[in-house]
Amino acid sequence: MNVSEAVERRVTIRGFLEKPVAGATVKDILVRAARAPSGGNLQPWRVYALTGQPLADFKAIVKANPFGETPEYDVYPPSLWEPFRTRRFQNGEDLYATIGIPREDKPARLRQLAKNGEFFGAPVGIFFCLDRKLGPPQWADLGMYMQNVMLLAIERGLDTCPQEYWARYPQTVATFLDLPADHMLFSGMALGYRDPEAPINRLRASRDPFELWGKLLGFEELQASAG
């Protein structure tokens, strides 16, 4: 499998099989992902992977606290504007359509949202943290590390679901992981084998055409000179 194939195959999976993932496989993915670039080679990531009883214990704590806590940061800016508002709205509509939940059935939508707390049945839950004194450039570095994790998982026949849902559980996660006080939770991720029968896994989020967000400058002259 080449990189292009891995990028094309990667989708957010919200239904996993109970099939376990070996610790050696998880560690190998996390270690290889650390080849991600980071400004000044700061390597800001701090990563925790849970499975088995620790994961079960953590999920039980979350289930007992369904409303979470005050997030340390906003996942989305308040009052989203266009085109971001429409993109987010349409993605939600497409997601719930795969499992037949209409917009007016808010209880069912909340039950689906709560499945984040179960890592959607995945056998591995991963948390990505960093020193809270670091800034947006280091958050971007951590995002690149996470992307490496997701693509390396594809190479191993695994799938993932990146979850900023966990931003609403900063104290719960920090306490469970015994996270140093000067570190904060950034995001979580479910890792495992996708359930091919789960209807929700049929969703493939749309992407706007290049012309709406990209521009090539100077290439016309280059092509002309080459011709």
Q: Residue 161's closest CA among 202, 196, 130, 126?
A: 126
Topology of domain 3-226, CATH: NADH Oxidase (3.40.109)
Q: What is the mean pLDDT of the segment spanning 61-66?
A: 94
pLDDT reading at 219 higher than 90: no
pTM of the model: 0.94
Residue 226 has what pLDDT? 67
Q: Find all residues with CB under 8 Å of 121, minimum gap 6, and list them.
A: 15, 16, 17, 18, 115, 192, 195
pLDDT reading at 98 higher than 90: yes
